[in-house]
Structure 1
Amino acid sequence: MVSQTSYRHSRGFTFIEMLLATAIFALVGLASVAVLSTVTRTDELSRESSQRLTQLQHAMLMLERDFMQISLRHVRINGEAPQKNRLIGEKFLLDSEDHGVSFSRQGWRNPGMILPRSEIQTVAYRLQEGTLQRLFTLYPDAVTGTEPKMQPLLTGLTGFEVHYLQGEEWLERWQDGNFPQAVRITLLDQYAGKLERIFMLPDGAVADGARN
């Protein structure tokens, strides 16, 4: 016959003990889910930040390449006759929502002149619908009415500013036969904030004999 002492030692968990165990397991599970969710979100934010940085670097690289290879060729706007200016920049140029700038650049690769185009390219930058756009034409002397090709470089911008160094003063507008000493690009990014880059132009002034 089993004694009362042996019966007490062999009984199972009480209802309260089961509730406590269930509650502990539930808390551990919730904590694990929270940690996993945080790690996943952190990884997503890291990938987004890395992708955003890559886009910013690509946009700045395009700007740098274009400005470093700026050409003495006169600028044409919308296929009009060549203007005396080699660089044109002001607010709302080319329907930009902020600043716009246009000039010609050299070094558009065409090995052996295989392609039916020049190695000089007319380029422009503008901001539309929060996107920094690079405009270019296949021919530097495009006819009137020719629509430029559009290359979106960077989205999520709230501003695109271009200023031009003359002496010790940064100008907001440039229309001159000479080049400024430098160009300052300011991007207002809704994620990264205010980003600035200054490009020293290879030739800050054009000789008088080259103006015609």
Structure 2
Amino acid sequence: MNLAQKNPNARQEKNVPSPFTGEGQDGGVLRQAFHPHPNPPPSRGRGLFIIGGFTLLELLVAIGIFALISGIAYGSLTRLMVDRERLQAEQAFWSRLSLTFARMEEDFSQARERQVRDVIGFPQPAFRGQPTDTRALAPPNVEFTRGGVLTFSDGPRSDLQRVAYRLDEGTLKRLTWPVLDLGPQTTPAETPLLNDVEEFRVRFFAPAGAWLDVWPTQGISDALPRGVEVKMTLKGRGEFTRLFLING
């Protein structure tokens, strides 16, 4: 038995092509290994790249969805901004109203029995009030002398001050005079408190237990009433009523 019969794989091992020369150990050239097949099979796994994109219909659908979501978001944001502005306006209104009533309460609680003199020199009551008079030179709705005013001057100075409340063309104003006894050139400082005031009424509670529209009145010797009722009618808001104690 020869060596080829003993080892049937020997011939095949000799014909294995060299990875460097492309020739087998027996000198034959294996060209088939270095030329691709004319119809290669489809690749499996890596090495397969497919380049794709959106169609016109898909692009139009995407743009439509984006426009719909943007419209909903814009509407929600607009409503949020409107609600925020309305809430801020309501907060500002109630804050002004509360500060106005707080200022009135402080003034009425510090009322004093101190008469004053007008420009001509005639004495005026320490506390006086009447219904609203729309004339330019008409007296305020309520005018009185109050104490407890802070002074920041170096020398001694009285803590008394003349205060008044007046409705002027739909605006409630607080008036303060720099001195008690008025001079020819004395003018009050006006501070607007509330706008859109349609009506401002005051009533005065007498020590006898009756409500009066004018103070002082005949038959009453007291300089100060026991209490004051304030009623204000605001445009679009309705009527607000507060009761204040005098010198309480």
Farther-moved stretch of structure 1 (168-177 vs 63-72): 168-177
- 1:1-212 correspondence to structure 2 within 5 Å: 13=55, 15=57, 19-77=60-118, 80-83=121-124, 85-90=125-130, 91-92=132-133, 95=136, 100-110=141-151, 114=154, 117-166=157-206, 167-176=208-217, 177-178=221-222, 179-202=224-247
- Residue segments in structure 2 that go unaligned for 5+ positions in a row: 1-51
CA contact (8 A) 2:118 2:182 kept: no
**In 2 relative to 1, CA 79–56 (structure 1 residues): closer, same or farther, beyond 3 Å?**
farther
SS at match of 2:96: helix
Taking the aligned partners of 1:139 and 1:116, their CA distance within structure 2 comes to: 14
Q: Give the fraction of aligned pairs with identical amino acids, expressed as a percent.
A: 29
Q: TM-score, normalised by structure 2?
A: 0.66
Residue identity opposite 1:151 in structure 2: T
Per-residue CA shift, 1:21-45, capped at 9, x if unaligned? Answer: 4433322211111110111121122
Residue 196 of structure 1: how far off its partner (Å): 1.3
Number of residues paired by the alignment? 191
Higher-strand-fraction structure: 1
Residue 184 of structure 1: how far off its partner (Å): 0.8
Residue 168 of structure 1: how far off its partner (Å): 4.9
Q: TM-score, normalised by structure 1?
A: 0.76
**In 2 relative to 1, CA 50–149 (structure 1 residues): closer, same or farther, beyond 3 Å?**
same
**In 2 relative to 1, CA 98–118 (structure 1 residues): closer, same or farther, beyond 3 Å?**
closer
**In 2 relative to 1, CA 96–48 (structure 1 residues): closer, same or farther, beyond 3 Å?**
farther
CA contact (8 A) 2:146 2:160 kept: yes
SS at match of 1:188: strand
Taking the aligned partners of 1:99 and 1:106, their CA distance within structure 2 comes to: 19
SS at match of 2:89: helix
